[in-house]
Amino acid sequence: MSRLPFISVITPTFNASKTIRACLESVAQQNYPHLEHWIIDGLSTDDTMSIVEEYARQYPHIRYVSEKDKGIYDAMNKGIDLAKGDFLYFLGADDVLLPGIINQLTHELDWQQYDLIYGKVRYPSAICGRAFTKEALTPDLCISPFIHLFVHHQGSFIRKNLFGRFGKYEPRYPIGADVHFFMKIINHTDVRSTFVDEEIAFLGDQGMSCQKEEMNLRFDFPILARKYLGISIDEKAYYRHFAKYPFDALYRGNWAEGLKWILRAATRTKDWTFYIKNSLYWLRERLKKKNVYKT
């Protein structure tokens, strides 16, 4: 049996007092000896840090910092710098590791042979994650960012040196920087990856990605897919699909946000008639039903 890997679990937090106990306990109950759990807090104003400090007194593998940050991926990048692990694992403050999963995987796999080990995650109403192959891509998957269907952040153990080789999380993508990172590495010939048909974590539904759209990543997706995956996407069809988000912004009265993305999509595709016609339609609908949404 090869040497067991040292694993750093990294959890960004901000005002997570309602969920952080379950998160901390799920890591502590793994009973895996070669592990640390970093809490990277963004100056919470609730009881998050008092709970973390309580658990840190009981479990010496828990480490923490609490200071101002620039968002969730800035916190994760701090965690990458602090982590001592061979492999890094990112766990949301409202997520929990499934019982015994780290011991199971470290005894089933020779981790020295891999740079990325990824599996499934369980949502309250769905299971996400499967082996990535370019052959598995369908036109429907390519019409919107699909990488999360294969490689999920909370289902992945990432060798730390990959962040040195490919860069840390890109702040340009404040919700989807993990998707961008996985796109860079999943098809790379020098990255040794394997899929395990196991559920790794149970995810809450209060995370940022469940509440907002990552517009920067969605807009850049055809470019990223071509650059990193060698996949060409029909841009006219893609951006017409993408336009449902800015059209909805117009309908909700968020004029600046909607028009910004509509203009960018129209400029990129030169599909002006489609965007002008539909923008006028949704603006008229907003004027007719201005009380449907509160802006």
Residue-wise pLDDT for 207-263, tens only, equals 555 456 789 999 999 999 999 998 889 999 999 999 999 999 999 889 999 999 999
Residue type, 185: I
Q: Is the pLDDT of residue 2 over 70?
A: no
Closest CA to 278 of 268, 267, 264, 266: 266
CATH of range 7-210; options 3.90.550.10, 3.40.50.150, 3.20.190.10, 1.10.10.10: 3.90.550.10
Amino acid letter, residue 10: I
Position 44, amino acid: S
Mean pLDDT of all residues in 32-47: 97
What pLDDT score was predicted for residue 112? 96
Gap between the Cα atoms of 3 and 12, Å rounded: 29
pLDDT of residue 153 exceeding 80, the answer is yes
Q: Could you tell me if residue 270 is left (phi over 0), alpha (psi between -120 and 50 degrees) or otherwise beta? A: left
Please give the pLDDT value at position 147: 84
**CA-CA distance, 21 to 93, in Å (whole number)?**
9
Alpha-carbon distance 251 to 39, whole Å?
A: 40
**Tens digit of each residue's pLDDT (9 = 90 or more) over 10-37:** 999 999 999 999 999 999 999 999 999 9
Confidence (pLDDT) at 292: 46
Q: Domains of the chain: which residue ranges?
A: 7-210, 234-295
Read off the pLDDT of residues 64-114 as tens digits, 9 standing for 90 and up: 999 999 999 999 999 999 999 999 999 999 999 999 999 999 999 999 999
In tens, the pLDDT along 131-143 reads: 998 888 777 777 7
- Give, in order, the Cα–Cα distances in Å from 145 to each of 101, 129, 179, 218, 260: 28, 14, 8, 6, 20
30 and 102 in contact (C-beta within 8 Å)? Answer: yes
Tokens, residue 177: 């920087």
- pLDDT over 60 at 294, yes or no: no
**H/E segment holding residue 250:** helix 244-251
Q: Determine the pLDDT at residue 33.
A: 95
205, HSE (Cβ side, Cα atoms, 13 Å) = 6
Assign 3-class secondary structure to 169-214: CCCCCCCCHHHHHHHHHCCCCCCCEEEEEEEEEECCCCCHHHCCCC
Distance between CA 265 and CA 247 in Å, rounded? 12
Count CB neighbours of 105 within 10 A.
Answer: 19
Full-model pTM: 0.91
